[in-house]
Chain A
Amino acid sequence: MSKLKELEQLFTEGKITRREFIGRVSALGLMAAVSPALLSTKAKAATPKRGGRVILGSAGGSTTDSMDPGTLAHTMPQAINQTIRSNLVEVNYKGEPIPELAESWEASPDAVKWVFKLHQGVEFHNGKTMDADDVVYSFNEHRGEDTKSAAKGVVEPIKDIKADGKNTVIFTLAEANADFPFIASDYHIAIVPKGTKGKEYEKGVGTGPFILQAWEPGVRFFGTRNPNYFKSGRPYFDEVEFIGIADTNARTNALMTGQIDVMNRCEPKTFDRLEKAPNIQALKLEGARHYTIPMLTTIKPYDNNDVRLGLKYAIDREQMIKQVLRGYGYVGNDHPIPRNNQYFAKELPQRKYDPEKAKFHLKKAGMLDHTFNLHAADAAFPGAVDASVLIQESASKAGIKIKVVREPDDGYWENVWIKKEWVQCYWSGRPTADWMFSIAYAADANWNDTLWKHDKFNELLKGARAELDQKKRREMYVECQRIVSDEGATPVPAFALQLSAASKKLAFENPAANWEFDGLRLPERWWLA
């Protein structure tokens, strides 16, 4: 039966077509066991309906949230931002960049100069027509000396932005980047009217599918359909409401009793029960979120690759998936590229728990007597402390001594991460291999949390960024993954699935997993069945 479940999953996620699904299930002789609802919702899916209200119960909201695109710290404000504002580029469920406010774009052959043509006649909620100056302004909010934007590092590669007339924006990059459109899809870089500053951001004027009517940080957002939205037919709902619900049980109860229509971050312990609930569609999606255990290569003995490899072999990944993620995840191969990425290196053998090899490498480094301090707090990811204890256990079977140092959740990113020698960490992942490597593995990256410098890797990364030939590019990224996996300082033991659930009242096609809530765009993409 688990095979059937898997097929159903692939089908709901749109990984296989209806025809394929029926074919493969028939082949198993299990057609009678398929829930008729599964096929019928899908059949309805073809014709989105207008009207109604969707209520999202969201974790990841705080009363200190702000609508300043530079400081969107949590999922709830991020999703609200994408509900009222648009970007130049959208990323679809396949992970491809598609036009949004930009109608089209073109790169110079060396991928340094990028020309974006804007959609014409798009109006902000306040009636102002969106033009190239607004786009330039919105990008500049994240650049320069005085910016406090969390996206400063993302737009750093941009050397110059200028408007060419009302409908064209020209970007000149410091160096070639074939993936530049993805950067323009970053949720921080939503397009706002020129001159928006500080407090005015809270009014939420954008070009997005819904218009802000009420917004109380961490508590509630209410928006109504933007009648002048530039994407024809969209959005389908008349109204959208977000309710901040921090407690997982409260979110689940609210969904079960129909007070909300969708929830994010389901509890893995009880997810199988949601899957069986009659009025609920439980979604588990494969995104790019992964857990890492970076080591600072500037501190002895982590400068020695034998130490790093030995510790990588000492981690029992399978057990971590089973116990910490309750099975809702898959093992990582010590690099940050998820298996659904087009450049994922299938050819690399999966690193497994191997006490013998672990011992061998640490003996070679002369470090069998050393006690390794592993710093952890659940701020890194839920279950990080348990995961550390598991690692301590599995390593002790190889004769390796690890001491788990519990750190406070408060100030974890400031005082522990990139400060202590070996720590627990997570990454929500990025849409491209280049982006992920560039922010956390490149020698000059802002968040290179291992301070790892590998000349060959850095050269390859730079080369791949500018390479427009897909085949060559793939080879380069595979090599990058091999180097990070074998010589990097970041064990990547696990990728986590994204667990969410929705009422059967709602319909959708192919939910994206790049961010929560269908790539933060659920209010625009879903409709009432």
Chain B
Amino acid sequence: MSGLRGLVIRRILMGLVTMFVISLLIFVGVEALPGDLATAILGQEATPETVAAFRKELKLDLPPHVRYIAWLGDFMKGDLGTSLANKRPVAELISWRFANTIFLAASAAVLAVPLSILLGILAALYRNSLFDKTISMVTLSTISFPEFFVAYILIALLSVQLIIFPSISNINDQMSFAQKIYSIVLPCLTLTLVVMAHMMRQTRAAIINILASPFIEMARLKGIKRMRVIVLHAFPNALSPVINVVAINLAYLIVGVVIVEVVFVYPGLGQLLVDSVSKRDIPVVQASGLIFAAVYVSLNLLADVASILTNPRMRNPK
């Protein structure tokens, strides 16, 4: 097990280096965009004098490297800074939105992950049957449509025509847990439809791959039922690729749902990031970018650790 601990520590250190590089890239990227917060906010109404006064107030008149180092210094001390646009602490802007993002991602994951793994197993079990083909066709269709299209179809059917679910999911603090769940049904369904195919197909492929192994043949020859062979013998051995694809999809559910947020007016981190980039609000962009990076780094790490734990061969690499 000490090898595993070493791996985790190494990967965390690598992750920190990655995050540092990302923060630098984000900063350089936003700097490279035309204009800054002062011109973005004042827009057509800007005059050279007001822009200069605005820049001075925000310390945007300092050279970029000075601003980056100041930001990095504060960040090291755990201070995310304040939004340049409305002076709110970045931590305050991000915390509740991140919680919302996680809430939606978790709800979608709770629905999508077991469902797609189950369907994947069933598809492998009844390989090439009508059921297998139907499932593949349906999930591949939903993943092929752009997500806003899936969202609009669901809204048109379940919200405008049948009036079952609300068309916008603008949850807020005054709502109870049940109310929140009710209002995010449609975005949750949309995300589920969008991510399901990937996980389902991977599960199916991994299991089918394993089914060709000699030990499965052995199990069959012993007369074990197909269902049992797949669930107890094949699936545990197929876990490693499945875990990886689940991790990628979880990361996507957290960092990639901007469009779904916009369509359903869901107050998550995505919209904040988009607005902050378009207004060049660097501290907010930095913090949200780093959170997204951290999500990717840690989910990948978790996936690797889980793969290793489920696969004895990888626990003791030669």
**Residues in A lying within 8 Å of B, measured CB to CB:** 62-68, 71, 73, 145-153, 198-199, 202, 216-220, 243-247, 249-250, 253-254, 256-257, 259-260, 408, 410-411, 413-415, 417, 425, 446-447
Contact = CB atoms under 8 A, between A and B. Distances in A.
A413 B46 contact: yes
B34 A411 contact: yes
B247 to A, nearest CB: 29
A253 B53 CA distance: 42
Given A73-B41, A256-B160, A145 B275 contact: no
> SS class of chain A's interface: helix, strand, loop or mixed?
loop
A414 B42 CA distance: 10
Nearest to A198: B87
B263 A62 contact: no
Chain B: number of interface residues, binned into ranges: 35 or more
A64 B42 contact: no
Given A220-B172, A244-B265, A152 B86 contact: no
B85 A65 contact: yes
Given A250-B265, A257-B159, A66 B50 contact: no
B316 interface: no
Contacts of B50: 147-150, 152
B263 A247 contact: yes
B180 to A, nearest CB: 15
A73 B43 contact: yes
A63 B272 contact: yes
Nearest to B37: A64
Contacts of B170: 219-220, 243
Interface string B36-50: 011111111111011
A63 B44 contact: no
> SS class of chain B's interface: helix, strand, loop or mixed?
helix
B163 interface: yes
B271 interface: yes
Given A148-B38, A150-B50, A217 B160 contact: no
Interface of B: 33-35, 37-47, 49-51, 53-54, 56-57, 83, 85-88, 93, 152, 155, 159-160, 163, 166-168, 170, 172, 262-265, 267, 271-272, 275-276, 278-279, 281, 284
Nearest to A66: B86
Contacts of B276: 63-64
A153 B50 CA distance: 10
Contacts of A68: 86
Contacts of A446: 47
A64 B33 CA distance: 17
Given A198-B87, A411-B39, 9 more contacts: A63-B93, A152-B49, A202-B87, A217-B86, A249-B263, A411-B33, A411-B40, A414-B39, A425-B44
B263 A250 contact: yes
A462 to B, nearest CB: 21
Contacts of A148: 38, 42, 50-51, 53-54, 57
B44 A413 contact: yes
Contacts of B53: 145-148
Contacts of A218: 271, 275
B163 A247 contact: no
A254 B265 contact: yes
B267 A219 contact: yes
Contact of B86 (A65, A219, A408, A415): A65
Contact of B44 (A253, A260, A447): A447
Nearest to B152: A249
